[in-house]
Amino acid sequence: MNLSSPLILTNFKTYESATGTNALALAKIHEHVAKESGKNFAIAVQAVDIRMIAAAVKIPVFAQHCDAAEYGSHTGWILPEALKEAGASGVILNHSEHRFASTEELVAAITRAQSVGLVVCVCAENAEEAAKIDSISKPEFIAVEPPELIGGDISVSTAQPKLIRDAVEMIKRSRVLVGAGVKNGEDVRIGLELGAFGVLLASGITKAADPAAVLHDLVSKV
């Protein structure tokens, strides 16, 4: 599993273009571009698609969420062991679209995920929240994503470069990913120059008419 910098992590969310057989096709595009470019790509897919996709591609496959549940009576919860057994390499936690109710619940989920060998990428809305998470737990990655820019046309690299710089300076242990509105190679270049380890993005790929072209562009300046 190669998760070295610069890392491009695509969140498939629940877009129709990135669900089921469409998700499989998009995953294979990521793998093909990874081979052609020699750069590092990973994908985060819906739990029901993990087993199919992880069996078909060699790039890292993340889940989009897990709970701090253990084996037993937890109907509807996502068990970390089940994700690992299905082939997941890691998991995204605390995305702005699926935040935990408390810091304690988030830390418990981080601990459970890591206990079964999942790499954890925790999402934070700003540098201060990222630093707090980093100070009380040890996720491998923290993705800083201002919620007002997620899914928009303006990237965090352009709109809030200071946020990236502050997050990198404030976070001591985790590797910083930046996200929200990231669309092209220039956004990636700026993020990396400010100290980020890579980027987390979604709609720029999942809604693209030519995802392969966008993926190539993302790594064209690094």
DSSP classification of residue 150: T
Contact 89, 61 (CB under 8 A): yes
Active site residue 145: yes
Phi, psi of 79 (to 5 degrees): -85, 125
The whole-angstrom separation of Cα 66 and Cα 38 is: 30
The whole-angstrom separation of Cα 173 and Cα 186 is: 26
From 95, 125, 129, 193, the catalytic residue: 95
H-assigned helices in 91-184: 103-115, 127-136, 156-159, 161-170
Q: Provide the 3-class DSSP secondary structure of residue 100.
A: coil
DSSP classification of residue 73: S
Measured CA distances, 42 to 70, 97, 124, 135 (Å): 26, 20, 19, 26
From 30, 65, 125, 145, the catalytic residue: 145
The whole-angstrom separation of Cα 173 and Cα 151 is: 28
Residue showing tokens 């092209």: 184
Indicate which residues carry an active-site annotation. 95, 145
